[in-house]
Amino acid sequence: MKRRQWTPQQKLEVVLEGLKNTCSLAELCNRYQITQSQYYSWKDRLFSDGAKLYARGGVDKEAERLENENRRLKEIIGDLTVELKKNEF
């Protein structure tokens, strides 16, 4: 049986629907064809990682910081590579 791939948005929608308590968890899981343990796993992940959204700077700031660091390190590698090639001759 082929495994279904869920987007982060779909996972969030399922968990939020479950939190609304408009139907039983069993009904919700049957509707989306997931197990209850999968639902709880997604819910736990939302609760543990959701706090990062409200952290100082949030997730976007962390991603931006990592991109800047990556760019800076690539520049350093480029400079060192040029320097090594100059010294070869």
Domains: count for the chain: 2
For helices 58-88 and 36-54, what crossing angle results, to 10°? Answer: 80
- Considering the domain architecture, whether residues 20 and 34 belong to the same structural domain is answered as yes
Average pLDDT, integer, range 6-33: 95
- Considering the domain architecture, whether residues 42 and 65 belong to the same structural domain is answered as no
pLDDT at position 54: 76
Given a cut of 60, whether residue 1 has pLDDT beyond it is no
- Considering the domain architecture, whether residues 64 and 41 belong to the same structural domain is answered as no
- Considering the domain architecture, whether residues 7 and 19 belong to the same structural domain is answered as yes
d(CA 68, CA 65): 5
Q: What is the CATH number of the domain that holds 39?
A: 1.10.10
Query: Which one is predicted more confidently, 49 or 44?
Result: 44
pLDDT at position 59: 66
- Considering the domain architecture, whether residues 28 and 71 belong to the same structural domain is answered as no
- Considering the domain architecture, whether residues 9 and 34 belong to the same structural domain is answered as yes
pLDDT band at 82 (very low <50, low <70, confident <90, very high): very high
- Considering the domain architecture, whether residues 47 and 6 belong to the same structural domain is answered as yes
Name the residue range of residue 75's domain: 57-89
